[in-house]
Structure 1
Amino acid sequence: MNDEQLLRYSRQILLPELDLAGQRRLLHSRVLILGLGGLGSPVALYLAAAGVGRLVLADPDRVELSNLQRQIAHGSADIGQTKVASAAAAIARLNPDCQTRSLGQRLDAEHLPALLAEVDLALDCSDNFATRFALNQACRRAGVPLVSGAAVRWEGQVAVFGGQPGDACYRCLYTEAGEDEQTCSTTGVAAPLVGIIGSLQAMEALKLLGGCGESLSNRLLIYDGLRGDWRSLRLRPDPQCPVCGSEDRGQKTEDRR
């Protein structure tokens, strides 16, 4: 690292759990952020500020006036721009050390495997189950850790899915059928809530990439903003999960052999 970087990241380098070695790991890390809205905005800005070397930004949408109440990477002048372009510009202003790649398209099961082969970590900041399920399955197959966040009305949640045998995955938590999908556009959301949840996602990513602390792997952290309550639930892999259950069954078959 050069002198300017040592000064820029000095407050993090002072942390003994991270230190200079951890900061170097951040600078060499590559991260996918899927969704640059309410959650993806603080995720992208904080990871860029913290010194993550490369961020792949993926979102098919454009900035609208109704986004500005909570999506802090975008401003009034950005209305009409793609969210990835707006976020990339905000990141460039914040930290020129951080390189970005912008993908203004909806990613599906066909595109995700090649993309995940290029990154160390993925963050799900999307707003629909179809995208979450596709990213979860692709991360599981690639062995790439996934930091998942969701927020609506006054409530939010964060979880980490490590992608290793014995870990739970997103589909262990939510089944594909029968989910009543709720979005900010139909039910509303408190502006600071997405900042809280997105910041927690960034914190989990920082710990995983920097090799410090204990992650939320196999745990679900739930926040109730109206009550100011936090709950932490232990997640267990579902043997019947269509994504990761077959891994456990295959392992048991090998053990019997």
Structure 2
Amino acid sequence: MNAWFVGIAAGGSEHYLMLLTLQLERDAEKPVREGFEALVRAYRPTKDDRGLVLAPRSGDGGMDGLYARTETRLMPNAFGGLDFTADQATLLFDKGGLFTTELPRDGDIAGHCRTEVATCGTYALKGGWLSANRIDRVEIENAFGLVTRSSDAFTRTKDGIKIGDKTYATMPPFADGHRFSGTWSHTFGSSGPTGSVGGARTLTLSPDGRFTREGSTGFSSTGGAIDGGTTVAGHSRRPVQSGRYAVSGFRITLTDDAGGAESLSLFAPDRDKDKLLVIGGANYLKQGK
């Protein structure tokens, strides 16, 4: 059994909404949970209230394009150790006043924000479009519609923007039909006193529009005895997949030889270089020259 409770304070009244699920598999629970989240976002405590509508106001907006920055951190893992992570934090703005931290599948920010509301928000530049010195944002914290408001210093830099103390570089889109040549690899790993897991994924892209993709994962776990002497290990390999790829803007679509297609976000953090590609949110480093 799972339960979710939401409380809403509205003036002199309090409203509580609850969802209970019993013996639902994860795939069956997901649409039920999403329906409950939509109900909470649309709930109106009084007739004069309105449900959550992520709509920019008159005067909002002014920017257009993708900006990114590298964020590094140490994170505790399940094995009792610490993992070093380096991720690309992204902000995609449209001129009308919407922004999102995830790249929409079809490039439509408004449509993306109607379904992936927890990744979106609105923004307004203060001080004029070219001479703006502050940016006000309304961000959606979760799928229930909880919002936060912020106002940060804003400056334009030679290669991007600065919000507060964070600098973001401009990410130019790829031209339609862009071609790559090389092999890119994404590696990951996690380790600690009780075990480890690691793996790699590789993607080869050729100038004739063909791709080859493969991957493997290995793990080991120590435990089951006072001295931790029992070890379990395993390894798996992803079947090799090949087919054709197509690039457009910030997306790459992989269509395998069996006809299956997958669309992934794509950008290059280093301007005019393809040494590092961010594909589907993961960092892929080019192998060799």
TM-score interval for Structure 1 and Structure 2 normalised by the shorter chain = under 0.3
TM-score scaled to structure 2, two decimals? 0.22
| Greater share of helix | 1
TM-score scaled to structure 1, two decimals? 0.23
Which one has more relative contact order, counting CA pairs under 8 Å at least 6 apart?
1
Larger Rg, first or second structure (1 or 2): 2
